[in-house]
Amino acid sequence: MLTLLLLLVCIAGGATLYIWNAMQPVQPKTQPVAFTVVRGTGTSAIADTLEQKGLIRNALVFKAYVKFKQQGNAFQAGKYEAKPGVTFDQLIAKLSAGDVVKEEMIRFTIPEGFTIRQMADKLQKEGLADRQQFLQLANDPSAFDVALVRDIPKQAGLRYALEGYLFPETYELKKGSTTKDIIQTMLEQTQKRLNTISDLDAHLQQRGETLHQLLTVASLVEREVVVDDERPIVAGVIYNRLQQDKKLEIDATVQYMLDKQKERLYYKDLAVESPYNTYMHEGLPPGPIASPSLKSVVAALEPKATDYLFYVTKKDGTHKHLFAKTYKEHLHNI
């Protein structure tokens, strides 16, 4: 009986020593070891991976310890790094917190009022996108899974289908993101920002206006106005002229149809045939001429009611405008 008891004590002591030894950290190293936890991976497979990577001594003991701590269900998927020499508790804390390796990111800014071409040029110059592919995708809304693009009309004369639909913002994406990934993210941002406007669809329906028309007016406001409190006034002027069947005669639309921006437009520029030339054609251009800010979108949705039909930029450096109800007043302002 005594012999059996001694034998059991020795077995228990040996098992305890074995478990204690298996729980000890492996030999410390300065170089971190990378490992990946795929979504849906169980604790058992994670433990096996940790042992294979040399981060723990014994997968079976680790599994038992995690079960004892009742923490295995909190492990999160992702790419991890850990230095050999960490304890069981440190590994459990890292996996439970989702303390994954920070991925390298790219960062770029699209200014308000930028056109598709300006975006393509900027992103190629920064080595983030292929210019030609960007321009091709800008005419292929079906390539993107965003509700926003389903209402873009297929009409003649539209230069770029996604013009005005890519939100001007500072973006951070994973390094290696494709040109398509970039455009998809920008479209999603536009959708997100438009969703912040209360009852947008109801407002559009009440005004008898489509989202495409709204973004077109907003883009005109964006390119014409610098001072924020003038945005609703200029939007009101645009709608006033549309209601009275007057040509918009907006310089920014002529600038848009030209391959290169000019500091000054000449009469010959105003005579160039294009559906975007609002000096030649009544109504709105076929679509937006730039990416409007949210401020311009709201201004186009809620224009200020006035009798103004004209405006001209002041020459005092303030970027403000002088507004007029009649052409005679407008000439006086000029």
CB burial readout 47-80, b (16+ within 10 A) else e? bbbbbeeebbbbbebbbebbeeeebbeebeebeb
Token pair for 105: 């990111």
How far apart are the C-alpha atoms of 79 and 95, rounded to whole Å? 10
**What pLDDT sits at residue 22?**
67
**What pLDDT sits at residue 15?**
53
What is this structure's pTM?
0.77
Per-run averaged pLDDT (10 residues), the chain, 334 residues: 47 58 82 91 92 92 88 87 92 91 89 96 95 96 91 85 96 93 96 94 92 96 94 96 94 87 82 90 94 97 94 88 90 89
How far apart are the C-alpha atoms of 132 and 129, rounded to whole Å? 9
**What pLDDT sits at residue 18?**
63
Cβ atoms of 323 and 310 closer than 8 Å: yes
**What pLDDT sits at residue 8?**
46
**What pLDDT sits at residue 4?**
43
